[in-house]
Chain A
């Protein structure tokens, strides 16, 4: 084997330009693989981060209670239906649930909330609102609001209200102004606009308002319960499994951020599939390159291979010479490709737009270097099997006479 390796190396070095070109081709394919992998991983990381940075990772709420009418001899099957019990959906015993969440090391933030609908009334104008009532101390726990304030402050106090910039515009409101607040429970109260935020998302800036839980309780006629508990995790990737755990532990309806963003999931999946396809094609082109280069070499060296055969050099030795050439090309090409791929991705990651964000959301550390190195090396060996077999099967006499 040692000597077969010597011969393989000698063959590759015999035409350095051609070998360099072949290795460059392999390296290029591997670089493409690394680039596309890092880009797709980076995109997924960025999209996921964008979504998870400004929303909760796990939401808990009360299950909708339904009464089932069981079919029986007296009941027509057609009349079997799910019937709501028309109870208020609230988490009454939210204290123990919060305590449970606090004890979980995965959890990074907890925000029990009262969510409801209301209207802001100013003169003739009425604007619908999606209201989130929170502990003032947990204002930024799920999504940072304080940093998005463009007017006033985040001090909710006893009658304070935070509204979006678009809504403030629509109703001509500014910080310090009182405004009539009417809930879907039919309670009216004059609240004061304390702060105005701008998220950049129109339906948030036009529809969302924040106030403190203490203020909200009488307004939504909810003296003790919470409508939902929002949770953030250190690792958003754990949300699905953690939601399942919470479902079992609490009996509540628990939704992970993935379940709330199935279109994102679908997009990421489609993107990953596209990436896999490109990866496969770049690997296949590498393998075809190696197979054809070695086939040409085997053909060019027919005479030599014939004389080796005449001298009784085993077929296995001749095959080994070609397989080892494939192995060397694959390893060197993949090694260089991984390095240039990493260098390229690292460089691309430093390119930023005017606002400081990356032009390409590339994750240089996610190039799957070990995978592509192993796949390319293995593939190179497999690709060299065809030329190796045809070289080993050459009839010495025919090869010499030509």
Chain B
């Protein structure tokens, strides 16, 4: 097992006028390849902030980040964008599918845009991924004609398109009902198990977190491991 994510001493302060809010006060997170981890914490504890920093969408005040063996915290804006495109996958609370494109085109988009064209190989991979997330019969549907759960599954397929080293999900089930939420998590666990894809899932939903093998709690600006019942028992 290799280390996919090694974030060390992540600190983040926001300035609101004269007031400086320290949201993260030196967070360390390490993920092994093939792990599926939940990032837990109360609303406003800094989960999204941490996830955005790891996802290279936000620059931390302090700390270093290594993803798939590459130091990424000092990369230029262009290089960060390229790294996101090639090595990271994102799933957000709101799917943000492109409404003028079909499910297949949405999934293939992260590959097509940098290449400058959508090849038939990209389409084929997008179709395979849609098949994988159970949308074989919706491949050519416009994104707008899918249900909320279906859209989120398209978003998962899209996150997988470029075969990322790490998939970051921010409240992926936050806008879904219980049933759809469970299905989306099932899907992520399945992909994690079958493809050895590494997931970091941010959630404030305990029942979702309870089903993740590893749980990290963000609290008072720091992250700590939450030992699951299973792990505690193993340690005896």
From B58, B78, B110, A311 is in contact (CB under 8 Å) with: B110
Across-interface contacts of A314 in B (CB, < 8 A): 78, 81, 113-114
Give Cα distance in the complex from A184 to B75, angstroms: 99
Question: Within B80-124, which residues are at the interface with A (CB < 8 Å)?
Answer: 80-86, 88, 90, 92, 94, 96, 98-101, 109-110, 112-118
Q: Is B149 an interface residue, CB under 8 A from the partner? A: no
Interface residue? A14 (CB, 8 A): yes
How many residues of B sit at the interface, in one of the four size bands? 20 to 34
A307 touches which one: B52, B55, B96, B117 (CB < 8 A)? Answer: B96
Chain A 1-24 interface 0/1 with B at a Cβ cutoff of 8 Å (1 = within): 111101000110110000000000
Q: For A248, what are the chain B residues with a Cβ–Cβ distance below 8 Å?
A: none
Is the beta-carbon distance between A310 and B90 smaller than 8 angstroms?
A: yes
What are the residues of chain B within 8 A of A317 when measuring CB–CB?
Answer: 113-114
Inter-chain contacts of A3 with B (CB < 8 A): 112-113, 115-118
Chain A positions within 8 Å of B136 at CB level = none
Q: Does A150 contact B (CB under 8 A)?
A: no
Q: Which of A1, A2, A400 has the most CB of B within 10 A?
A: A400
Contact at B114–A312, with CB atoms within 8 Å?
yes
In the complex, chain A residues whose CB is within 8 Å of the CB of B82 = 312
Once bound together, how far apart are the Cα atoms of A13 and B116, in whole Å? 20
* B100 interface neighbour in A14, A311, A315, Cβ under 8 Å: A14
Contact A310 B113 (CB under 8 A): no
By the criterion CB–CB under 8 Å, are A309 and B81 in contact? yes
Q: Is B210 an interface residue (CB 8 A)?
A: no
Q: Contacts of B101 on A, CB cut-off 8 Å?
A: 10
Known A-B contacts A396-B57, A397-B57; A311 and B52 likewise in contact (beta carbons under 8 Å): no
CA distance A300 to B213 in the complex (A): 40
Question: Most chain-A CB neighbours within 10 Å: which of B92, B100, B101, B112?
Answer: B100
CB contact list, B111-166 vs A, under 8 A: 112-118, 158
Interface centre among A306, A313, A315 (most CB of B within 10 A): A313
**A384 CA to B101 CA in the complex, in Å?**
23
A-side contacts of B86, CB under 8 Å: 312
Whole-angstrom distance between the alpha carbons of A2 and B101 in the complex? 16
A382 and B15 CA atoms in complex are apart in Å by: 37
Task: Tell me if A308 is interfacial: C-beta within 8 Å of chain B.
Answer: yes
Contact B57 A310 (CB under 8 A): yes
Is there an interface contact between B100 and A10, defined as CB atoms closer than 8 Å?
yes
Closest to B89 in A: A311
> Is the Cβ of A312 less than 8 Å from the Cβ of B83?
yes
Kindly name the residue among A11, A311, A315, A400 whose own CB sees the greatest number of chain B CB atoms within 10 A: A311
Q: Interface code A292-327, partner B: CB below 8 Å = 1, 0 otherwise?
A: 000000000001101111111111010000000000
Task: Given the known inter-chain contacts A10-B101, A14-B99, A312-B114, please indicate yes or no for A303 contacting B84, CB distance below 8 A.
Answer: no
Which residues of chain A are near B78, meaning CB under 8 Å? 314
- Chain B residues lying within 8 Å of A1, measured Cβ to Cβ, are 116
Distance in angstroms from A103 CB to nearest chain B CB is 65
**Complex Cα gap A328–B102 (Å):** 23
Q: Give the residue of A2, A309, A396 whose beta carbon is less than 8 angstroms from that of B117.
A: A2
Q: Which one of B55, B57, B85, B88 contacts A313 once the chains associate, using CB atoms below 8 Å?
A: B85
CA of A306 to CA of B112, assembled, Å:
17
**Nearest neighbor of B112 in chain A, beta-carbon distance:** A3
Residues of A within 8 A of B109 (CB): 308, 311, 313
Would A400 and B92 be within 8 Å (CB), given that A10-B101, A311-B110, A314-B78 are in contact? yes
Write out the residue numbers on chain B whose beta carbons fall within 8 Å of the beta carbon of A13: 100
- Interface 0/1 of A85-122, CB less than 8 Å to B: 00000000000000000000000000000000000000
Q: Which residue of A lies closest to B111 (CB)?
A: A311
Which residues of chain A from 305 to 357 have any CB-CB distance to chain B below 8 Å in the complex?
A: 306-315, 317
Considering only CB atoms, which chain A residue lies closest to B88 in the complex? A312
CA–CA, A306 and B98, complex, Å = 11
Cross-chain contact B113 with A397 (CB below 8 angstroms): no
The answer to whether B116 touches A397 (Cβ under 8 A) is no
Are the C-beta atoms of B96 and A312 separated by less than 8 Å? no
State the CA gap A3–B112 with chains docked (Å): 7
Pick from A11, A14, A309, A397: contact of B52, CB under 8 Å: A397
Q: Could you list 26 examples of A-B contacts with CB < 8 Å?
A: A1-B116, A2-B116, A2-B117, A4-B113, A4-B116, A6-B118, A14-B99, A14-B100, A306-B96, A307-B92, A308-B109, A308-B113, A310-B57, A311-B85, A311-B113, A311-B158, A312-B85, A312-B86, A313-B81, A313-B110, A313-B113, A314-B81, A317-B113, A397-B52, A397-B58, A400-B92
New contact pairs (15) apart from A14-B99, A311-B85, CB-CB < 8 Å: A1-B116, A10-B101, A303-B96, A311-B109, A311-B110, A311-B113, A311-B158, A312-B80, A312-B84, A312-B86, A312-B88, A315-B81, A396-B57, A397-B52, A400-B96
The 8 tightest CB contacts between A and B, nearest first, are A312-B85, A312-B84, A307-B96, A311-B110, A313-B113, A312-B81, A14-B100, A397-B57
